[in-house]
Amino acid sequence: MLEPLVGKLKPMRIVLASGSKQREVLLRSTGLDFEIYPSSFAENLNPDDYTFKYFVEATAQRKTENVFEVMKYDEKRPDLIIGADTMVTFCGKMYGKPKDNMEARRMIKDLTQSDKPHEVYTGVAIWYKGEIHTFSEMTRVHMTNLTDEEIENYILTKEPMGKAGGYGIQGLAATFVERIEGDVNNVIGLPLCRLVKELKQIVKL
């Protein structure tokens, strides 16, 4: 993150409303100082009520609002809170985090044995001066074909658990991603380039 944005944000108390290690690493790479306070929002919105874009934006907003409600009575309350939500979609269906190996197996089979790309949506919500600003990014991912044995071996690594769509592009899954169209950081969980652009507008740089 380049000056003068870093200078403008430096005196602020900034909070990342996520327990995702991947999002933390990405945001740290900007040089920004921030705290981590994972949201306790249940992520129970009904996907049938939203388009893919608005589903991740609404979930990110609820996460951000949840953390603000917890921290608003602090002696120094946050100046800026960032929340995010990532979801994979394929053939018109949403793919969240697999609940077990069986669900992970189904997801990976769909994404790697169909010869079709899938989409990754990340919604971001930024709380600043009493207002919530939301946006989302979409990245298209093309994966190579995996055999059933390769899928089983991948599941045994436990990497699919806790990852939208059942894979982590920053991990072993990078070996079966042929190409992407869009921001790879968006697939990891935080579209940094777009985030910086939005922050510049929000703090009026």
**100 flagged as catalytic:** no
Report the C-alpha gap between 128 and 48 in whole angstroms: 29
State the Rg of the chain over Cα. Answer: 17
Active-site residue (options: 33, 79, 85, 115): 85
Bond preceding residue 4 cis, omega within 30 of 0 = yes
- When the pLDDT of each residue in the chain is averaged and rounded to a whole number, the result is 95
So what's the pLDDT on residue 153?
A: 97
Q: Which of 41-50, 106-115, 130-139, 177-186 is predicted least confidently?
A: 41-50
Tokens 């705290």 sit on residue: 35
pLDDT tens digits, one per residue of 157-195 = 999 999 999 999 999 999 999 999 999 999 999 999 999
Tokens of 188: 């990891």
CA distances from 74 to 10, 13, 69 (A): 19, 11, 10
pLDDT tens digits, one per residue of 140-151 = 999 999 999 999
| 204 backbone φψ class: left, alpha, beta (φ>0; ψ -120 to 50) | left
Q: Can you list the domains of the chain with their CATH numbers?
A: 5-202 (3.90.950.10)
